[in-house]
Chains A and B, each alone.
Chain A
Amino acid sequence: MKYLIANSTAEVLEFLKEAGGTASILAGGTDLILDIESGKKKADTLVDVTRIPELKKIEEVDGFLEIGAAATLTEIQKNPLVRKYFPSLAKGCKTVGSSLIQNVATLAGNVITAQPAADAGMALSVLDPRFVLVDEEGTRECGVDEMYAGFGVSTLDSGRTLMTKIKIPLPNKNEAASFQRLELRKSLSLPMLNVAAMASIKDGKFEWVRLRMAPVGKGPVRAAEAEEWLVGKEVSAETFKKAGELALENANPRSNPLRGSKEYRESTLPVMVRRALLEIATQLNVMEG
């Protein structure tokens, strides 16, 4: 195996080209190293991108919060801009593995490993993120649904394409987001379920809602039925309850010894949805928590 430390985006592309598709980009490596050893993933060359200064930045640019792809979950979670604009993202980043994992793992990696219930990627998924990807052909932007190809499979080929940053549009003052997680213990445990939501509330009614849940399918699954139904509905406990029930229409949780039975998770998912919507309403001072 070869290990190359890149100092610039251009150098990453050069290294990837030289390896002819047999290399893999490495950021925190908390999943990749184990996946290579178990044979789940293959790479003859690792290209370490964590020392590229441009990829470490977290900044506000033209109405977007831009998070460099090599920023660690700890750096993101502690960042004042992230905390100010997207507390639910900070919360999601803070629940991945343990602080020891968060100290090296990245948000970009959390998305690219494409585990269906990756907490940071889930919290991010409802914030309308744009992923900036660079390869030989140039630079392009991609949305959440274009990132996930299957369970643990990204559409991004880490042997050819580099994610450089994640751009999130800054919220308006009548918008807020929430991230909810059901777990056996607070750290080092996979979520049994997680739910993320973002909404705009005007005059006591939902203008729009983005609602996603996992692990109930491939990547962060949209609760499309609930989202559509919620538009124009009054912010109330009854509305949250109905939305929770509707979320089940798009969810297909399987029984899993680590995450709980299908029946249990189908009973608790509506509760998680209710909590997410209530938290948003509370943040926007529409309801009391």
Chain B
Amino acid sequence: MKERLVTTVNGRRIERYVDPSMRLVDFLRDELLLTGTKIGCKQGECGACTIIMNGTAVLSCIMPVMKAMDAEILTIEGLEKDGTLHPIQDEFIKGGAIQCGFCTPGFIMGTKALLDENPSPTSEEVREELSGHICRCTGYKKIEEAVLKAAERLREEKDD
């Protein structure tokens, strides 16, 4: 039996009839074709499917789609503005914090949630807050650096 879902994804209001046993990540990828959000383990253990829901970073792979009811969802596709990448995306690219790129959307959404709440995190806080994301290529150092760089840039932009 399908249920009515009303939600907002990347600023767009969406109303659909969905199978409630579906996970949110499958809804985003298969129904809305927002394939930037990745499926790694589908067990809540790798962070690749991270999105932001009502300001909080969550794992869309172990979330029932109906949890999105009346929620504000932000996916990696919602970050760039008029063709310009978000500073976090830009710093990940510039700093070589991306290799195969599969974990990157999750890392970037996790970073966004972190910096929205804490604009000046220490290295320790970055490591702790992003410890639920697994990257098999970079060794994490460049990711940490890119996050700190992005934080600095976002603070400067705010001051301007």
Contact of A48 among B45, B50, B66, B132 (CB under 8 A): B66
Q: Could you tell me if B63 and A97 are in contact, using CB atoms closer than 8 angstroms?
A: no
B79-115 near A? 1/0 per residue, CB < 8 Å: 0000000000000000000000000000000100000
Interface centre among B44, B69, B129, B134 (most CB of A within 10 A): B44
Residue of A nearest to B131 (CB): A187
A258 within 8 A of B: no
A188–B132 Cα gap in the complex (Å)?
Answer: 6
A214 within 8 A of B: no
Number of interface residues, chain A, beta carbon within 8 A: 23
A8 within 8 A of B: no
A171 within 8 A of B: no
State whether A99 and B67 are in contact (beta carbons under 8 Å apart), knowing that A33-B23, A34-B43, A34-B62 are contacts in the complex: no
Interface positions of B from 127 to 160, Cβ below 8 Å from A: 128-129, 131-134
A33–B21 Cα gap in the complex (Å)?
Answer: 9
Interface positions of A from 161 to 205, Cβ below 8 Å from B: 186-188
- Chain A residues lying within 8 Å of B45, measured Cβ to Cβ, are 97, 188
Q: Could you tell me if B131 and A98 are in contact, using CB atoms closer than 8 angstroms?
A: yes
Binding site for B on A (CB under 8 A): 1-3, 5, 26, 29-30, 33-34, 46, 48, 50, 74, 97-101, 103-104, 186-188
- Other than the given A100-B50, A101-B44, A104-B59, 20 more pairs (CB < 8 A) read A1-B20, A1-B21, A5-B66, A26-B64, A29-B63, A30-B44, A30-B59, A48-B64, A48-B66, A50-B67, A74-B56, A98-B132, A100-B44, A100-B58, A100-B59, A100-B110, A103-B56, A103-B58, A188-B45, A188-B132
Binding site for A on B (CB under 8 A): 1, 3, 19-21, 23, 43-45, 47, 50, 56-59, 62-64, 66-67, 69, 110, 128-129, 131-134
